[in-house]
Structure 1
């Protein structure tokens, strides 16, 4: 739970780009890297990669690393389609010697037949940012990555990895943080070695739940860092015999896992959200309010990307937890420094979008939120007055009750449906996949059904 605005920092570990005339092989050798994990994610956020020896860095850079896209996952391909070719972004080069000595991650943009693949999440976000740049605007994003540390029991159930972490209200517990000292400090040191600016590591609201914060950056860099951090967390926890999960609601009686996004718009060095003489009282500009209005207007459809799994709606639908609060909004409302709203305004330079969860693909979540907000800017949507503490406007959208409801909202929202690379067909492809995911779950017979229906008649 981020409580303070964080200063912007440059990425101390940023690599040179092709424009500097330095090759990927040169960058790798300068960092004593022997192998490259050439990485991209599919639409679900699953990381896909090939392990490339530095001796083949030139082939990777020249577009010789092909993937069978249909096999990789949800990324808009059929078995008969041409290869996805991973084109590395040199600026994303990230040495990870704390994972394996001599290893680095490099994020790639999938191409097909020589062109960026419009279904690829990183390409989708880059397309959104290019359209934003055409307006002279840049987006800067902060992300709060929450997660649980668990172990899987022989019967398939989950237990908290720290057996002593069993309080109903463990948030900020100093003892829980201390027991997980080795894990938390190893992640903190990893982030700081990469120049991310880790500034806090805390026990979250549920037993077994943690959050580790890092400074905000431009939108693409932050999305890359979320993907990288999830990978780092998974591997380092596994080395200690634990499992990291970003599942939104792994325990029904505990708070769920969010991916809260802090969004701001800038023109060069000037923030665009602060305003003077704001009659609504939050110190925001008209542009900021229109951006908020766009996000709220399109909130039901956005949830298909911010809360993209069946399990997501166990989190947003919860009415309470063992701690007494769910920290997940149920309506599309906004207000000041109040965590019960979908949009919290902690200061006049940023807004916090709180309806996303740990299963969200950061590229798609950020891209669609920006597109919705900019639609509000383009149409001068007025979000009305901010809601008071714990309140919401009577006309505020109710957030979808299930993934299927979110899919239906997406299909009925032409702005969000067409926000993926400006192509409605991609939105329909994603909606169909998510509908199938819901129906696959729905077709399973659960223990609840056996208990309630076996002898009910």
Structure 2
């Protein structure tokens, strides 16, 4: 126990200055859902030294049963996050310990393990995530509708539309004001390509910080939306005829000491401004893309966002804005990986519903495998892949992304690099996700009734 940590005294003073009465001690389960205990502010030191206790058997993916010793969630002092929308309460991200040892089934503990390995190689992993989400309301029959109290968000192509944005301005301002108060560096918000869909962007950071922030962002969006009689959902595809929600990942490796971006090379012969290290990292990501898909798009519903490559499939606006093939290119949104500017890449496959700790651990491990083995990603694609069919892509040697959770799980199970990135969580992940797929596959939905009930 570190009772002499100088940060404790400073933080106690800050709690007093910020008039914090309660602490949310928070971690995530295997799915990325936030789990918390509410602790009086007077319990700061115990929450840091020994942690708040949880029964692991009550939580998905913790590798425990009802007989197991307590999970002790120890707060990370650097994650102090006052809740501007709930005065007097602050959140701390926590890591799980059992009998005084880091619990390997804790997603945050696991991400720290992979980041430490990268740091031992001289790298830090900088990441920005762009969360897309819908605002919806629940109807009396259990269905959902887009939240649109002013009845103005009904365009076929609503992206960036002023009326659609202004109808949600109160919600967006509340979110932005909160994030700005937290110092996250919000730089833009917009109405996305689907009706009632939005995105808020904040500055990139170290992967652990970004995972913490995405987790808190989803927590906060849910609470703020309630005040507007709405539900903020990060379900990837809540409507069959609208664009889905991603959490596009922007990334680069930096020098662990100086912070210099190691992906930049202005003399890049491919003209993208990317270094050899950057291309090798990318090569690893592309090689392991099918297995990564299972972790970055971990629900049945994710694959209704990633379907096919046709421009109009599943989107009344005309485009899905979601890739279907394992590819990279220049500043080109039809690719899995685009290069928006020299020195960093953006992966457009990642789902809004991912567990960011697991997704980023898998991603970094795949990239480092590319660096270790000098994997060449090949030449960039510069065309419109929405116009290319499966036959053409196969002839060009460009593989298709998994088209179902079941297919992605097969790739994950067969990929030792991505499995190792999750440590012992990998077995729990496979077991729970196989169960999820079987449960889904056993359902009979309305479409099947309409299609087959009187077909013969």
TM-score over 0.5 (shorter chain): yes
Q: Distance in 1 between matches of 2:383 and 2:294?
A: 27
- 23 and 40 in structure 1: CA distance in 2 versus 1, 3 angstrom threshold: farther
Q: Distance in 2 between matches of 1:122 and 1:23?
A: 25
State whether structure 2 residue 400 is matched by structure 1 residue 402: no
Q: Which residue of 1 aligns with 2:446?
A: 447
Q: Distance in 1 between matches of 2:254 and 2:98?
A: 33
**Mapping 1:28-177, distance limit 5 Å:** 28-98=15-85, 100-162=86-148, 163-177=151-165
> Structure 2, unaligned stretches of length 5 or more?
386-392
From 315, 320, 326, give the equivalent of 2:305: 315
- For structure 1, which segment, 313-322 or 122-131, has the greater mean C-alpha deviation from structure 2 after superposition? 313-322
- Residue 40 of structure 1 and its aligned partner are, at CA, apart by 0.3
Q: Which residue of 2 aligns with 1:377?
A: 371
SS in 2 for 1:271: coil
Q: Which residue of 1 aligns with 2:265?
A: 275
Q: Distance in 1 between matches of 2:301 and 2:197?
A: 17
TM-score by length of 2: 0.93
Q: Which residue of 2 aligns with 1:286?
A: 276
Q: Which residue of 2 aligns with 1:344?
A: 338
Q: Which residue of 2 aligns with 1:185?
A: 173
Q: Deviations over 1:364-395 (max 9, x none)?
A: 11111111011000000001000112246822
Superposition RMSD on alpha carbons, in Å? Answer: 1.5
- Residue 125 of structure 1 and its aligned partner are, at CA, apart by 1.0
- Residue 415 of structure 1 and its aligned partner are, at CA, apart by 0.6
- Residue 179 of structure 1 and its aligned partner are, at CA, apart by 1.5
Q: Is contact 1:310–1:402 with CA below 8 Å preserved after alignment?
A: yes
SS in 2 for 1:311: helix
Q: Which residue of 1 aligns with 2:247?
A: 259
Q: Distance in 2 between matches of 1:269 and 1:78?
A: 42
- Residue 277 of structure 1 and its aligned partner are, at CA, apart by 2.7
SS in 1 for 2:9: coil
> Structure 1, unaligned stretches of length 5 or more?
1-16
Q: Deviations over 1:104-130 (max 9, x none)?
A: 010000111111111111111111110
Q: Is contact 2:8–2:45 with CA below 8 Å preserved after alignment?
A: no
Q: Is contact 1:42–1:120 with CA below 8 Å preserved after alignment?
A: yes
